[in-house]
């Protein structure tokens, strides 16, 4: 598939193509489209540049595995926002729990 034809795909079409082919180069295009949005959401939770970068990386690793669960009932950007938000909430809850255990 040529780069120009890939760039003309909608987000949803790109996701379905990635799921169909398991192509990491196509996933890199998806990463390029959404990494800043995901990073900004992660930064909002962590308030730390390095931690936000790590969280962004973790979100995309988990996303690659879970991408096949996207059914297309909503826009991909909406689904990814929820995915990222839930990932960050779980991260905050784990960290809060760890801090409480250290204080005991």
Q: What is the pLDDT of residue 7?
A: 83
pLDDT in tens, 57-74: 999 999 999 999 999 999
Q: What is the DSSP letter of 74?
A: S
Name the fold adopted by 3-103.
Answer: Rna Polymerase Sigma Factor; Chain: A (1.10.1740)
DSSP 8: T
Are 68 and 20 in contact, with CB atoms under 8 Å apart?
Answer: no
Is pLDDT larger for residue 4 or for residue 11? 11
Domain borders along the chain are 3-103
For the beta carbon of residue 2, count every other beta carbon within 10 angstroms: 7
pTM of the predicted model, to two decimals? 0.86
């Amino acid at each position: 598939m040529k780069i120009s034809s890939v760039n003309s795909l909608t987000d949803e079409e790109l996701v379905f193509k990635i799921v169909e082919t398991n192509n990491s180069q196509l996933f890199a295009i998806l990463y390029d489209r959404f990494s800043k949005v995901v990073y900004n959401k992660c930064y909002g939770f962590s308030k730390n540049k390095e931690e936000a970068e790590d969280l962004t990386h973790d979100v995309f690793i988990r996303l690659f595995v879970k991408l096949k669960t996207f059914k297309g009932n909503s826009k991909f950007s909406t689904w990814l926002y929820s995915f990222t938000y839930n990932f960050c909430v779980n991260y905050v809850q784990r960290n809060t729990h760890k801090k409480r255990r250290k204080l005991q």
